[in-house]
Amino acid sequence: MFNSIDSLTAFVHAAQLGSFSAAARHMGKSQSTVSEAISQLEIDAGVALFDRRTRQPTLTAAGTRLLSHAQHVLHSHAALRQQALALQSGEEAQLSIVLSDTFQSQAFETLLTAFAERFPLLRLECLVGEDDDVLALLRSGRAQLGVMRAQGRYQADVSAQALPGHTAMALYVGAEHPLAQAAQVNEAQLLQHRELRLSTYTSSPAGPHSPRCWLAPSYLLLLELTARNFGWAALPTWLAAQFGHGQLVQLNTANWPQATTLDLVWLRTAQLGPAACWLIEQLQHAGHTAAAR
Amino acid sequence: MFNSIDSLTAFVHAAQLGSFSAAARHMGKSQSTVSEAISQLEIDAGVALFDRRTRQPTLTAAGTRLLSHAQHVLHSHAALRQQALALQSGEEAQLSIVLSDTFQSQAFETLLTAFAERFPLLRLECLVGEDDDVLALLRSGRAQLGVMRAQGRYQADVSAQALPGHTAMALYVGAEHPLAQAAQVNEAQLLQHRELRLSTYTSSPAGPHSPRCWLAPSYLLLLELTARNFGWAALPTWLAAQFGHGQLVQLNTANWPQATTLDLVWLRTAQLGPAACWLIEQLQHAGHTAAAR
DNA sequence: CAGTTACCATCGGCTTTACCGATAGATAGG
DNA sequence: CCTATCTATCGGTAAAGCCGATGGTAACTG
């Protein structure tokens, strides 16, 4: 039968081994089964697949042509079965995680290579969000895991776990900004210039420091605005170092730079799959190398 | 059953239509068959594919993930069936043709686009050979069709058919060759310089014109040697025009350039498939535009 | 040149399963 | 509340997949 995977398997094995009997042994079936399966296959195809004049049946030209197609079918079918096996073992179908830009993605990538080996079929989605956006994405079910700046406290349905290491935040201006030349900058001076501040999609920002204030939803966008001298901003130092291209100047201000810890957060109500649990475990143990810059 | 294509078809249709009954109607089977097939599929997969709490069953996350794999299987299976259908209708599995470099390939390509549409699954192989190499490839079964310089007569097992149009052959030297400046060249002068002559793999060349003679198995290689001023050669004019890059000079000699007709040849004993017959027919009719430059 | 071995095709019988129609429970819409 | 439509389930039937046995054939061997 053309519609039976087993028939195609018999065909491919017979073609590769050059023997129906060997294919039957290989599949744990009787020789007559393989012979009949291939006969039926030839009836369905309307052409002979094997030349049986010799002792060892050899593929005909048509058989050669169909063999590659049959192998393709078997490959995709094997992928289907493997995916089913992964799902059967409880593996989630898709894992979405939200990362804050304060979390250095570069170090995270080494962990991802191990993740790809461990869960080769899992679809992974990486989102970027800050602060309450992260929590909103978790609550909406859009994501299962988040990495965000440590909040003082969380609502009852949120599990949080501190990641080892720190992320430093500092104040920056563009190289052409008036404050760029100042050796020391106090808070009064800051208030006289425009602040570039992180906003989130879900909530309006808390009372702005500066009366003149621009908002952007990502640190990368803030960095761009800062580099174009539109104002000063608090940015992760690693982001400024990696994407600042020397156009940023760090301000020397009291209480800055500040060290921030990162929290790994997830919903207490959502039962996490093995991939999410594996990620959590890896992040909190090998996380030393991932979070420390 | 995971091993049945029909089950996967039922699964995919049900997922796309959002209804087992609709899928059953679409497949010409009863509703219970589809229901049982998907049930069995879920047992094999070990996960639920559909969420049946609502009236219209909707895919679960695992079902969504498996759906794409199942579709992939069905696509490759459809390709298999289509190939089988093509072979069943008598279409050859592979067509190999040998083209002489005297046949302008550029014009041939327009014919090939039509060929690709007419026989989308056929594997086509284009070989290059000259004179008796073409016939040797036909006899060995390596190729089914050949285009070569018209020979005076052929052996009994070869069918030959003149292609409309002509191919001009002319004598060339490189721009730096001693003969390049001559307004007129006679045969005695030619004999004083090295001839670059076409040889074939199968037979030693007929008595050379020139006592100093280099041999090469393809016109393109001859052209290269000529351009480097190693001697004079008889080349197809279209080849010299297209690949000579202005480095070739055509000699003004009695009896040159010569017009050569091309023959389409095949073995009388080999029964040709529809694709080969189609090509023969196209070449001798629409061949006007293909062979005429 | 037999003898042997391994191979394939075929047949009868058994088991499995794919399929259908009927039926019952459930859900959305009038 | 009623109806139409959906899915799940059950029993019966036809088909298929599968096996073991048998016979014929090609290659190897002494």
A2/B81 CB distance under 8 A: yes
pLDDT of the residue at B9: 96
- Mean of all residue pLDDT scores within chain A: 86
Q: Where residue B287 falls among pLDDT bands split at 50, 70, 90?
A: very low
A283 or A77: which leads in pLDDT: A77
Shortest Cα–Cα distance, A58 to chain B (Å)? 15
The pLDDT value recorded for residue A37 is 94
Instruction: Round to whole Å and give the CA distance between B216 and B197.
Output: 6
Q: Is A245 helix (H, G, I), strand (E, B) or coil?
A: coil
Nearest to A191 by CA among A179, A180, A183: A179
Tell me how many residue pairs between chain A and chain B have CB atoms under 8 A apart: 99
**pLDDT confidence of residue B289:** 44
Give the model confidence (pLDDT) of B243-263 as tens digits: 888 889 999 988 888 888 888
Q: Which residues of A touch B73 (CB under 8 A)?
A: 73, 76-77, 80
Mean residue pLDDT across chain B: 86
- Res. A152: pLDDT tops 60: yes
Q: If you average pLDDT over residues A118-144, what whole number do you get? A: 87
Task: Kindly report the nearest CA distance between residue B33 and chain A, in angstroms.
Answer: 16
Q: Which residues contact B203 (CB under 8 A, 6 or more apart)?
A: B132
Per-residue confidence (pLDDT) for residue A173, from 0 to 100: 94
- Which pLDDT belongs to residue B170? 92
Q: Residue B105: which of B138, B127, B132, B73 has the closest Cα?
A: B127
The verdict on a CB contact (< 8 Å) between A70 and B80 is yes
Residue pLDDT, tens place only, B29-82: 999 999 999 999 999 999 999 998 888 899 998 999 999 999 999 999 999 999
For residue B255, the number of C-alpha atoms closer than 13 Å in the C-beta half-sphere is 3
pLDDT at B205 over 60: no
Mean pLDDT of all residues in A204-215: 68
Contacts of A229 (CB under 8 A, 6+ apart): A173, A174, A175, A176, A177
Strand D within 7 A of B287 CB: no
Rounded to a whole number of angstroms, the distance from the CA of B135 to the nearest CA of chain A is 22
Residues of A in contact with B43 (CB under 8 A): none
Instruction: Give the pLDDT of residue B84.
Output: 92
Output the pLDDT for position A8.
96
Q: Which of B70, B81, B83 sits opposite A80 (nearest CB)?
A: B70
Q: Give the pLDDT confidence score for residue B211 in this predicted structure.
A: 67
| Chain A nearest C-alpha distance from B77 (Å) | 6
> Is pLDDT of B225 > 80?
yes
Name the band, by pLDDT with cuts 50, 70 and 90, for residue A291. Answer: very low
Provide the pLDDT confidence category of residue A293 given band limits of 50, 70 and 90: very low
Q: For chain A, which domains are there?
A: 5-88 (1.10.10.10), 94-165+261-291 (3.40.190.10), 167-259 (3.40.190.290)
Residues sharing a CB contact under 8 Å with residue B144, sequence separation 6 or more, in sequence order = B92, B95, B96, B97, B138, B266, B267, B270, B272, B273, B276
Predicted pLDDT at A155: 87
Give percent of chain B above pLDDT 90: 38
Q: Which of B173, B220, B228 is nearest to B198 (CA)?
A: B220
Question: B281 vs A10, B109, B142, B260, CA distance in Å?
Answer: 40, 16, 21, 21
* Higher-confidence position of B86 and B107: B86
CB atoms within 10 A of CB B117: 8
Both tokens of residue A92?
Answer: 């989630």
Chain B residues closer than 8 Å to A91 by CB? none
Q: Which nucleotide is nearest to B39 (CA to C1')?
A: D8
Q: pLDDT at position B293, please?
A: 34
Q: Cβ contacts of residue A274 below 8 Å, gap of 6+?
A: A89, A90, A91, A92
Could you say which nucleotides of strand D lie within 7 A of any protein CB atom? Answer: 5-11, 16-21, 25-27
Asked if strand D contacts B39 at the CB level, meaning under 7 A, the answer is yes
B93 contact residues in A (CB cutoff 8 A): 60-62, 64-65
Query: Given this model, what pLDDT does residue A208 score?
Result: 57
Q: What is the pLDDT of residue A289?
A: 44
Q: What is the pLDDT of residues A65-110, one digit of tens each?
A: 999 999 999 999 999 999 999 888 888 888 899 988 888 766 678 8
Confidence of residue A22 (pLDDT cuts 50, 70, 90): very high
The token duo for B1 is 């059953």
Helix (H) or strand (E) holding A213: strand A213-216
CA distance B44 to B63: 13
Percent of chain B whose predicted confidence (pLDDT) is above 70 = 93
Which has the higher per-residue pLDDT, A116 or B288?
A: A116
Across residues B147-158, what is the average pLDDT? Answer: 87
Interaxial angle between packed helices A20-27 and A5-17, expressed in degrees from 0 to 180 and rounded to the nearest 10 = 130
If one compares A238 and A285, the residue with the highest pLDDT of the two is: A238
Phi/psi of residue A83, each to 5°? Answer: -65, -40
> Residues in chain B, how many?
293
Q: What percent of chain A has pLDDT over 90?
A: 33
Inter-chain contact B76–A80, Cβ cutoff 8 Å? Answer: no
- Strand C nucleotides where any atom sits below 7 Å of a protein CB: 6-12, 17-22, 27-28
The pLDDT of residue B290: 40
